[in-house]
Amino acid sequence: MALPNFNRYRKNVKVPKGSVIRYAKGQGYYTIPKPKGTVVRPGTKQSRTVIETPAQIEARVRKMADEAFNREKSTWDAEAERMRKDAEGRRQGMIEAYAAAGKANAAMGGQVQAGWNLAGEQIQGLGQAGTGTVADALRADLTTQDQALARIGAATGSTGFDPTSQAGVESYRGGFLPAELMTRMGGVANEALLRGAQNLSERGTQEAFAEFNEDEADIRAKTFEALAGFQENRAKNEQDYREMLMGARQDQIDAINDAKKILADIRNDEAKLKQQYLIARMNANTKMEIAQIDAIYKAEVLRLRGLADQALINQRNASADLSGVKADDIAKGGTGSGGSKKNSPSTVSNTVVRAKTAGNDAIQTVFDNIWAKSGGANPPAGWNEEEDGVWGQSDEYKAKVKWSNEQRRKSFGTIMLRTITAMSAHLKALGYTPFQIKKMAYQTVSARVQPPSWWTTANKDFLSKLAGKG
C-alpha cells in the first residue's frame, strides 16, 4: 500500500526497532512488528514460520541443559538418600546389638552372684552341720584322756582343753570363712558383668558412629564425583543442543529461501506462459483453436499452482515443524547424559518430508480412483468438439468434477486412515506419538479436502485438543 506524502516527513519519523509502518484509510499511519520468515501460499491466508534468534536458541539450550542436569541430579539425590538411610540403619543396628549383649551380660551377673551365694550357703551349712560332730568327737577324746590321767592319779580336767570352743573354731574356719569368700566372689563377678554391659553399650555406640561417619564421608565423596560428572555432561549436552538447534535454524532459513526461489521461478514461468497464451490467442483463427488454447493455458496454470503448493508444503515440512521435532528428539537424550543416539538434522528433515510425501501419495491414490470412477478423464465415445464443444469446458465434465469433489468429502475418513498409515512408517522412527501423527495427517488431508461435518463431530475431542482447548 502506498503511503501518501510519507517521504515528505520520513526524516522526522522514528520507527521502533523491529517494526514497519503501515497506512490505513481513516486510521492513518501505524506500526506493526516486522514479519519474520513469511511465506504466502497461493489461494490461502498468509502462513508464517518464525525463526528463533540465536539468543532465543541459547536460552532454550540453557533451559534444556538445566532440565537434563536436574533430572540426573534428582536421580542421584534419591540414590544418595537411600545410601544414607542404609548407613543410618546399620549404625542403629550396631548400637542395638551391643546394647542387647550388654543387657544379657547384666542379667547373667545376677545369676552368677546367686550361684556363688548358694555355694557359700551350702558350705556354711555343711560347716554348721559338722560342728556338732566335731564337738562330740572332741568330748569323747577328752573323756578318754581324763580317764587315762585318772588312772595315774591326775586330776580330772587337768588337760585344760575345751571341746566346745574348739568346735566353734573349726566351724568358723571351715564354714563361715569359705562361705563369706564365695559371697564376695559372687559380688565381684556381678559387678564386673554390670560394668561390662555398660562398656559394651558405650563401645557399640562409638563404633557405630565411627562407621557411620565413614559411610557419610564416602557418600559425600561419591556425590562430589557425581556432580562433577553431571557438570561435564551438562557442557556436552549444551554443545549438542546448540549445534542441533542452530542447524535447525539454518535449515529453516534454507527451506524458506528455497521456497522463495522456487516461487520466483514459478512466477517467471507464469509470466512467460501468460505472454505465450496471449500471443497464441491472437494468432488463433477459429473458436475451436481459441478453446483449445484456453484449455491448455488453464491446465498449465493448474500445473504451476500445483508446483507452488508442493514447494510450500516442502517448506513447511523442513521448517515449520523442524524446530519442534528436533527439540523433542534431542530432549530424549543427549550424548552427555548417556541417552539414545540422536537423529541428525538432515535425518529429521528428510524423514518428515518423506512422511508428508507418502501421505500426499496416499491421498492422490484415492483421488485418482474416484476420478477414474467418474469417467471425467476422457470424453465419452462419439464426443465431437466441433459440435459438442471442448470436453473440459462442458457441463457434463463440470458435473463429473462436482461428483468427484463430493466423493472426496464422503471419503474423508478413508483418506485420513490411509494417510495416517502411510505417514506412521516414517514418523514412528522419530518418536512421534499417535496424536502427533494424526495431527500431521489431518493438516495434510484438510489442506486438500474439506472435512465433512460428520467427521468433525465424531472427532471433536481431537480437534479441540488440536486447537489447544483440550
- Determine the residue type at 359: G
* pLDDT value, residue 415: 92
H or E, element range at 38: strand 38-40
Contact 442, 416 (CB under 8 A): yes
CA distances from 102 to 107, 290, 301 (A): 9, 117, 102
How do residues 410-431 score in pLDDT, each as one tens digit? 899 889 999 999 998 888 888 8
Domain extents for the chain? 72-227
DSSP-derived letter for residue 48 is E
How do residues 108-140 score in pLDDT, each as one tens digit? 666 666 776 676 666 656 655 555 565 666 666
Q: Is 444 exposed, middle or buried (0-12, 13-18, 19+ CB in 10 A)?
A: buried
Contact 359, 312 (CB under 8 A): no
How do residues 317-364 score in pLDDT, each as one tens digit? 555 444 444 444 444 444 333 333 455 555 777 788 888 989 999 999
pTM reported for the whole predicted model: 0.37
DSSP string, 295-342: HHHHHHHHHHHHHHHHHHHHHIIIIITHHHHHHHHHHT--TTTT-PPP
Nearest to 437 by CA among 422, 457, 453, 423: 423
Average pLDDT over residues 453-469: 82
CATH number, span 72-227: 1.10.287
Average pLDDT over residues 183-207: 70
H or E, element range at 195: helix 177-283
* pLDDT value, residue 256: 74
Tell me the pLDDT band of 46, cut-offs 50, 70 and 90: very low
Average pLDDT across the chain, whole number: 74
Q: Count CA atoms closer than 13 A to 39's CA, side-chain side.
A: 29
